[in-house]
Structure 1
């Protein structure tokens, strides 16, 4: 534990446990026609069933994509988690608690590549790069605010105020950590909404910070289930 605030602009995503492969989709799908013989898929090369995976994705037969599991450790600003927790179907979360531990002073500052200026009206807006002056203002203002809020938090704790009360002084730019568990179907729905991709049938306008988390999660999933990931991309990045 340190009392000195630190600042970062990156996100942490670590795949810590999984039971997920393209084969899981195939045996789950083939039970409808082959019964218990569908377990033969466990010993077969899933590449031979690329067409079936594409069919399931294209025609939105979604349940076979649920028979797998991935657990991620994620460290990100609290405002990212507030968006994350809108995704409830097929997800389980456990986040660190400000009631039971003193929260560490790690805060988010936008990186130099973070676009700062919003133009246009809701539904048709875009973000464009900020000026050097705007970036400098954001960094200065946020750092000052973070230092002041954490000092107030420490002052209350030192006076004997309960952690669950004192934490109210902390901003949503504070980093938190959680475990998030999902299956491929719920992850695809998340990616369809929280990434911006030219292959998407449905346009999405994610906040950049949650998109950074989504990109790291997608990278890990693509290594586990490459054929499913390819079918997802080939069919407009729409969850089945």
Structure 2
């Protein structure tokens, strides 16, 4: 379901508005307003509205009015301090609202983040479009043998082609039957209620929603969904959203990338092991006091920084 003519007309009208304001404005995000960032084959992310900017975070932290006389460098230091020490409430002073078009199976995974206000396209009132997510061959992978919720090796080109054929065939067939159920009897259909006919749609059908969230909870969402272990289909949405944050709150986003996205967490027992290693002691999994899984995870976190 691409943008309707009415939606596009509304967007064009809003884009041309020039409204003076005394509120904080982010020039970077203003330039991105109403522009859809393409995601997957038919999806997109676009910013509809926002409130606040980097100065709003600083203002809340200092409990003051206006930006004051502080230097930008001091603001940056404060924001980085807040992020580093998990002082989260100042980040809640900023909010952003997105219009997102996404496959239904991605939406069902996404909705588990219960920290946003959501209004989704309703197939009880409207008819869904004939449009489906069909993966590229390089993202079709077998079930991982070590991770019950992840992917393993990429399928061969022959297997991938067969899977894509099945996905297209099933989606089209289910949609054909969906249309037949909706049609009135005089058009050789059944006149079934939309709220019932929708059950026949495949999970790769596209839906869309408005999704509003504060910056603190958005950072948490991105930390989980931009991780390399997150499912590819939701990760690409998170990466598109990160671009909007880089334009909106560049200082806070820089702190997020340093202290959240690019950081790792060691347990107390892992820190003891690291201390022994730094003191020159030879530590193996058997004498580390860590479980095999903990040891493997710690070694994976250290691998990028080890010299051969």
TM norm structure 1: 0.85
CA distance in 2, matches of 1:49, 1:174: 45
1:216 Cα deviation from its structure 2 partner: 0.6
- Alignment equivalent of 2:62, drawn from 30, 33, 53: 30
For residues 1-240 of structure 1, what are the structure 2 equivalents within 5 Å? 9-31=41-63, 38-41=64-67, 46-89=72-115, 91-122=116-147, 126-158=151-183, 159-196=190-227, 205-237=229-261
Cα pair 2:98 2:212 within 8 Å, conserved:
yes
Structure 1 residue runs of 4+, over 6 Å off?
A: none
SS at structure 2 position matched to 1:179: strand
Q: Deviations over 1:144-163 (max 9, x none)?
A: 10111001101110121100
Shift of 1:126: 4.7
SS of corresponding position for 2:45: strand
Cα distance change on mapping 1:43 and 1:182 into 2, 3 Å: farther
- Conserved in 1, the CA contact under 8 Å of 2:150 and 2:231? no
**CA-CA distance at 1:118 after TM superposition:** 2.9
**Offset of residue 125 of structure 1:** 5.4
Separation (CA, whole Å) in 1 of partners of 2:151 and 2:172? 31
* CA offset digits 1:86-125 (Å, max 9, x no partner): 1112x11000000000111110100233142233223695
Distance in 2 of aligned mates of 1:221 and 1:63: 18
Q: Which runs of 5+ in 1 are unaligned?
A: 3-7, 32-37, 198-204
CA deviations on 1:127-167 (whole Å, 9 max, x unpaired) are 33221112201210011101110011011101211000111
Inter-CA distance 42–93: structure 2 relative to 1 (3 Å threshold)? farther
Contact 2:97–2:212, Cα closer than 8 Å, also in 1: yes
**Structure whose residues are more often strand by fraction:** 1
SS in 2 for 1:108: coil
Contact kept in structure 1, 2:58 and 2:79, CA below 8 Å: yes
Q: How has the CA–CA distance of structure 1 residues 182 and 47 changed in structure 2, closer, same or farther, with 3 Å as cutoff?
A: farther
**Aligned partners of 2:106 and 2:233 also within 8 Å:** yes
* Preserved CA contact (<8 Å) 1:23 1:42: no
8 Å CA contact 2:140, 2:160 repeated in 1: no
Q: Bigger relative contact order, structure 1 or 2, given CA contacts below 8 A and separation 6+?
A: 1
TM-superposed CA distance for 1:40, in Å, is 3.1
Instruction: Tell me, in whole angstroms, the C-alpha distance in 1 between the residues paired with 2:68 and 2:160.
Output: 53
Q: TM-score by structure 2 length?
A: 0.67
Distance 1:56 1:162 in 2: 52
